Structure formats: structure tokens, C-alpha cells
Amino acid sequence: MTLQAVVVRFPGSNCDEDAHHAAATLLGAEARLVSHDTADLGEPDIVILPGGFSYGDYLRCGAMARFTKAMDFVARYAERGGAVLGICNGFQILCEAGLLPGALVQNSGLRFVCKDVYIRVETSRTFLTGGVPPGTVLRMPIAHGDGNWRAPEGALDGIVSRDQVLFRYVNAAGEREEGANPNGSLDDVAGLSNERGNVVALMPHPERAGDALLGGTDGAVLFQAAARSLLSKLVRS
């Protein structure tokens, strides 16, 4: 039984090939790259929105990609319970599309940040973190200028109480502290899920941390967890 993965390629995507490689090698999926102007993505087990700078980040990051034909499909797919993973720009697109809460704005330091960071798994209830104990610390690279997650006033408490915070920025010891958060994101949020747990996203790049030759394998932990979760769903169906 082989998983089917679709990676959506937008104008300005630059991590689409990386995500495709990770889907094939770490998820063990039959992976396809699909253009943003494709209205029907078929019957995938997971849709991945990769990192990059869709439409040159004009207006707001992800604001134009949100209106593509592929995203119309993704919205319907997510409503049916389909698994969606957004990475970096994919996170921004999902927020702009209203599939995840809040929005991602310019880093608090007003600079593009490219470095390794530590994130802590906050919940194991999603397909991306199933079987990964909360408190697990992972090291992954970031590369973004707009990773500062914000939420409307009063919304954070509900997001936290519904267990939608997927990852938080921490230090190497797994502790939240000043300096561990690279972009000023509210409540140190590095990743979120929707209420159902089938739409997930994070700013760090797990697809760039899936091989020791790249400097680390912590990203593989998430892809392997996703593979287990999605295969289990296939077996049950």
C-alpha cells in the first residue's frame, strides 16, 4: 500500500523539489508535483504546500496564492478531512486562505532570518505529530522574512485551549526563553493545526532536515510520523 502525495508548485516556490523528494523518500509516497493552476489534484492522501515566495510575496505573503485553482481544491479537500501540510510559505498561504487561524507578518527584527532553530512538539493529536511525545525537541532550519505569527486580540486563548499549537520555538534544552524565538511570533508559535488536526503547518523546514548529509535528520521524525498516521488511516478505510 503506497501513499499518494501531491506537492503544489506556485510561481515563486523554491522548495517544491525538496518537498517532493521528502515526500518520496521520507513519507515513502508516490509523489507528484502539480501546478497551482490545476483545478483537480486527484485523490491524494496528503497535499503539501511548499516553501518559497509565491507570487513574489506581493501584497502579503501567500495572499495571491490563496486565490489559485489548486487552493480551491485544497479548501474542499481539507473540509472533507484530507491531510494538508504547509511549510513556511505554505503556512502563510493556509493562514491567508482561512484554513489556519491568524496571519504571518514581517519578523520583529525586520530582517530575513536563515539559521537552525529548535522547536518543541506541543501536541501529538495531528497526523504530523502522532506518536511523537509532546516535549520532543527538534532542530530544523528556517529561512523567512515573514514568520511572525499574529492572532486577533482574544483569539490566542481559544487556539491554545483547543490544542492547536503544534510547535513552539525553544532553546536546545526545550525551554522557552528570550532569544529562542527568531521572529517575534506570538506565544513562540512555530506551527499550528486546525481544530480537526488534518491541516497543519510550520515555519521551519523539515524537508531540509531529513538526511545527515544536510546536517540533521530531525525533519524525518515528522515525515515518518505522518507516514504512520496516513497509512493507518488507509488501512482502516
Angle between helices 16-25 and 218-236 (to 10 degrees): 60
Q: Find the catalytic residue in 20, 36, 144, 205.
A: 205
207 is catalytic: yes
Q: Find the catalytic residue in 36, 61, 96, 207.
A: 207
Q: Find the catalytic residue in 15, 61, 88, 95.
A: 88
- Residue 86's beta-bridge partner residues? 49, 201
205 is catalytic: yes
88 is catalytic: yes
Catalytic site residues? 88, 205, 207
